[in-house]
């Protein structure tokens, strides 16, 4: 059963969600598109459930819609590495109508945002692998803004590529610096040991060149993003629906949260 936990210290169970998410032993986490009826039932009861859980319920109006829009966009792509400005422009059409969709159980904004982010994530996965195939040039004077609040969404695919290039270059450079520090510590330790007991001195590990350190650093960054995108691509429609419902709950009250139903295994085999 899905539930909302409110700031009043109790969980408000939403009526009708037992029909939405059966509790029988054969329930399975959906991997394909969710039936529209499920989205309609859940989103249509969110406002009702939250209203029941609070003494002074939030007014669900255009202002509420704008806050849901802003918060969900941050959840969707707070780093501004995936969505493009034309994507955001499409989503912005729903900025003042999310409240109406919630009341009516509609999900056009959710469907469009899910479609766009899935497409952009897939594109970015190809992009980072391509960019990490070649060495970075560290002599050029470039900057990278680490605070996403200070930058806009990329204007187009070329701008997004450049942002990813700068990000990956920055992260590779950071790891090169760490590898250089580690190598320096090892050399110092080896030299100290040699001076203490010259007769016991052993051949120290070969000193890696800057090019070798850069290649090792890129491999580390590649490994990180392989794992990151592997997790990211596991996000399905059910996750997006739960995240959106939680965003609505958080907008209603920062201390309110939506908890997706716990899914049971499809069989009793060990």
Question: DSSP string covering 125-168, please?
Answer: HHHHHHHTTS----SS-------GGGSPPPSSHHHHHHHHHHHH
What integer pLDDT is reported at residue 32 of this predicted model?
45
Give the model confidence (pLDDT) of 7-48 as tens digits.
333 333 333 332 233 323 223 343 346 666 677 666 766 666
Q: Which candidate, 235, 245, 242, 248, places its Cα nearest to that of 260?
A: 242
Share of the chain above pLDDT 90, in %: 51
What integer pLDDT is reported at residue 266 of this predicted model?
38
Report d(CA 171, CA 41) in Å as an integer.
44
What integer pLDDT is reported at residue 77 of this predicted model?
97
Q: Is 214 exposed, middle or buried (0-12, 13-18, 19+ CB in 10 A)?
A: buried
CA dihedral 226, 174, 128, 156 (to 10 degrees): 140
Strand order in the sheet with 11-13: 11-13, 3-5, 257-259
Report d(CA 23, CA 33) in Å as an integer.
20
Top pLDDT among 5 and 83 is at: 83
What integer pLDDT is reported at residue 264 of this predicted model?
39
Top pLDDT among 107 and 171 is at: 171
Q: Which helix (H) or strand (E) holds 73?
A: helix 62-77
What is the mean pLDDT of the segment spanning 258-268?
47
CB proximity list for 228: less than 8 A, separation 6 or greater: none
> For residue 5, is pLDDT > 50?
no
Top pLDDT among 213 and 50 is at: 213
What integer pLDDT is reported at residue 192 of this predicted model?
73
What is the mean pLDDT of the segment spanning 83-91?
98
Top pLDDT among 40 and 146 is at: 146
Tokens representing 62 are: 């255009």
What is the mean pLDDT of the segment spanning 105-120?
94
Q: How far apart are the first and last CA of the chain?
A: 24
DSSP 198: G
What integer pLDDT is reported at residue 129 of this predicted model?
98
């Amino acid at each position: 059963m899905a539930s909302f936990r409110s700031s009043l210290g109790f969980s408000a169970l939403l009526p009708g969600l037992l029909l939405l998410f059966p509790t029988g032993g054969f329930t399975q986490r959906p991997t394909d598109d969710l039936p529209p009826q499920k989205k309609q039932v859940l989103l249509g009861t969110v406002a009702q459930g939250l209203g029941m859980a609070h003494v002074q319920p939030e007014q669900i109006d255009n202002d509420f819609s704008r806050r849901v829009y802003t918060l969900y966009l941050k959840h969707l792509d707070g780093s501004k590495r995936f969505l493009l400005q034309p994507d955001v422009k499409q989503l912005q059409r729903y900025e003042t109508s999310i409240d109406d969709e919630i009341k009516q159980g509609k999900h056009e904004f959710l469907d469009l945002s899910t479609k766009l982010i899935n497409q952009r994530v897939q594109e970015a996965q190809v992009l980072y692998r391509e960019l990490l195939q070649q060495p970075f040039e560290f002599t050029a004077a470039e900057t990278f803004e680490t605070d996403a609040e200070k930058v806009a969404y990329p204007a187009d695919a070329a701008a997004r590529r450049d942002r990813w290039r700068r990000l990956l270059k920055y992260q590779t450079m950071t790891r090169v610096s760490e590898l250089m520090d580690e190598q320096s510590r090892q050399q110092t330790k080896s030299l100290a040991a040699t001076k203490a007991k010259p007769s016991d001195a052993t051949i120290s590990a070969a000193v890696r060149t800057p090019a070798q350190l850069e290649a090792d650093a890129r491999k580390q960054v590649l490994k990180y993003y392989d794992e990151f995108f592997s997790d990211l691509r596991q996000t399905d429609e059910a996750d997006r629906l739960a995240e959106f419902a939680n965003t609505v709950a958080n907008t209603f009250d920062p201390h309110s949260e939506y908890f997706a139903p716990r899914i049971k295994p499809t069989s009793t085999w060990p």
